[in-house]
Amino acid sequence: MPNTMLSFKHLLRPVLGGEERKSWCLLLLRKMMNGCNLVDNDSAVAGGVEDMYGEDIATMGQPVTPWTVSVASGYTLMRDPRHNKGVAFTERERDAHYLRGLLPPIVLSQELQEKRIMHMLRQYKVPLQRYMAMMDLQERNERLFYKLLIDNVEELLPVVYTPTVGEACQKYGSIFRRPQGLYISLKEKGKILEVLKNWPERSVQVIVVTDGERILGLGDLGCQGMGIPVGKLSLYTALGGVRPSACLPITIDVGTNNEKLLNDEFYIGLRQRRATGQEYAELLHEFMSAVKQNYGEKVLIQFEDFANHNAFELLARYSSSHLVFNDDIQGTASVVLAGLLAALKLLGGTLADHRFLFLGAGEAGTGIAELIALEMSKQTGNPIEENRKKIWLVDSKGLIVDSRKHSLQHFKKPWAHEHEPVSKLVDAVKAIKPTVLIGTSGVGKQFTREVVEAMASINEKPLIMALSNPTSQAECTAEEAYTWSEGRAIFASGSPFDPFEYDGKVFVPGQANNAYIFPGFGLGVIMSGAIRVHDDMLLAACKCIKPPYIVLPLVNFNIVEFINSKHCCIV
């Protein structure tokens, strides 16, 4: 029988008679048993299908529930988070979807439900309790979850994202309820394409994937790193407007070297040491090939929290063949450069007039440094090698200098400049005399009082960016930066800090967090039809983050400006 497609839209009527329902059910079952493909192949684009259920044009007042669900059981409908509206179902919808008696008689608007849940969330004193309540809501009522997050983004961003998501990942096995996303482990090697086909959605546009080896500044959390892709993709919807069904969180489980997790009876991942070398590379290559085969050329794959040695290699290997984006390398770089460009209004001069000192020479540090040097080249026309000389990096062994070049990892070598060895950060500050100090070390409390006072003695307005997440890993707090600099510091952090009063002035710390870049950047890439990500796109994106950036925690990403830029193209 040739492939045909049942007219589901014809079936999406408020009420069907009993005999009519039986007739359509039998027809549907017969066609499925005869091998009928319910997907119209002509409508498939980039691995997806047309919007058969009218989701994109539906309103709250329209029944948009798939017919097969509505006639199967109203009880089942109420347990489908994508279509459940709880007590917001209208009287008409309760009749149409067989919900009579399954709900209390009251009909409450989404707005009133939102008010009730926000009241409940504010009663919790422990952030992890709020996180768990939000995850429960997402698994129960997706519409209400996103309305809540969109309407209260400043208050709830720290709950579903950093810093609370870090604690959630650490305790993921203990709080685990319902699986979210796909788990691809070494057990699935050789059949990853089959695993991808188990995911119910076909029109996937964004995948956020992690192997859990370097979760925030918390280290190797193995399979429990799933909280990061889940949290990132919730922001793709809440901040970027990408449909939830088009988002797919994935964890690649190759084991963990975390002894505590290996001995934890509640750990949900493989109980073995991390696979490395060829075994790891083969699994990742199969994954990347399967994603492209299943979802097409234009699916955006965002790498999250891979360890340095894998992150750079994966980005280099697949950036020419896939639409890939490393948020730790490229996203962090873009959002920090946006902050620097905005801060110049307070500091004065151009980027090339300033000296930069980084604590941390991993993915984030070298990624930021390279984008700063690239932007300097765009502004001045000077070779990028010359601009790199204004940027200095400190790692665990001290200042990266030329005499250490033989022992450095490849991604650190461009930052090895002529200078005598310096082991301590405070001595590096005094020697280099930077105007900007940036922390990406993943280790807390490294910007000591001595370091901040040294920055303040050199600069009238020292720019200090303590970017490591979560809050416990920040190089210093906002209070410390303002107090030790006598209120002169311009401060930004990766995780949020409350406003702080010093000497009669209230300082609102800036938040240089990737949440300000990746949802808008990802949406722009999807909308433009791009099939590769280039550095010029990152430069264009950072200029689309509109200030005030360092001063206020919320900003605006101009998606129209980004898409219209000459760098956001299809090649």
Q: How many residues does the chain have?
A: 571
Residue 451: is it exposed, middle or buried by C-beta count within 10 angstroms (0-12/13-18/19+)? buried
Q: What is the 3-state secondary structure (H, E, C) of 486-541?
A: CCCCEEEECCCCCCEEECCEEECCEECCHHHCHHHHHHHHHHHCCCCCCHHHHHHH
Q: Which has the closest alpha carbon to 465: 498, 448, 489, 431?
A: 489
Alpha-carbon gap, residue 432 to 444, rounded angstroms: 22
Quote the distance between the C-alpha of residue 19 and its chain's center. 49
| C-alpha dihedral (175, 177, 179, 181), degrees to nearest 10 | -50
| 328 marked among binding-site residues | yes
Query: What count of other Cβ atoms lies within 10 Å of the Cβ of residue 342?
Result: 21
- Rounded Cα distance, 111 and 88, in Å: 9
**Could you give the CA distance from residue 485 to residue 488 in angstroms, rounded to a whole number?**
5
Closest CA to 107 of 93, 91, 92, 83: 91
Short-list 92, 87, 84, CA closest to 65: 84
Contacts of 55 by beta carbon, 8 Å cutoff, 6+ apart? 64, 243, 245
**Whole-Å CA distances, 105 to 120, 337, 450:** 22, 54, 65
469: annotated binding-site residue?
yes
Nearest to 246 by CA among 189, 168, 300: 300
* Residue carrying structure tokens 């798939």: 66
- 513 is annotated as contributing to ligand binding: yes
How far, in Å, CA of 115 to CA of 109, rounded? 10
Is 327 part of any known ligand binding site?
A: no
Amino acid in position 249: P
| 21, two tokens | 């329902």
Q: Is 372 left (phi over 0), alpha (psi -120 to 50) or beta?
A: alpha
Q: Which amino acid would we find at residue 501?
A: E
| Edge-to-edge order in the sheet of strand 391-395 | 398-399, 391-395, 356-359, 436-439, 463-466, 490-493, 510-511
Catalytic pick among 161, 267, 482, 549: 161
Active site residue 161: yes
The answer to whether residues 431 and 438 touch, using CB atoms and an 8 Å cutoff, is no
Strand partners for 437: 357, 464
Query: Which residues does residue 357 pair with via DSSP β-bridges, in sequence order?
Result: 392, 437
Is 116 within any annotated ligand binding site?
no
Catalytic residue among 53, 85, 147, 232: 232
Q: Catalytic residue at 232? A: yes
Q: Which residues of 7-41 are buried (b: 16+ CB within 10 A; e: fewer)?
A: eeeebbeeebeeeeeeebeeebeebeeeebeeeee
Instruction: Bin 118: left if φ > 0, else alpha if -120 < ψ < 50, else beta.
Output: alpha
Instruction: State the binding site for a divalent metal cation.
Output: 304-305, 328
Instruction: State the binding site for (S)-malate.
Output: 214, 469, 513
Instruction: State the binding site.
Output: 214, 304-305, 328, 469, 513
Q: Which residues are catalytic?
A: 161, 232
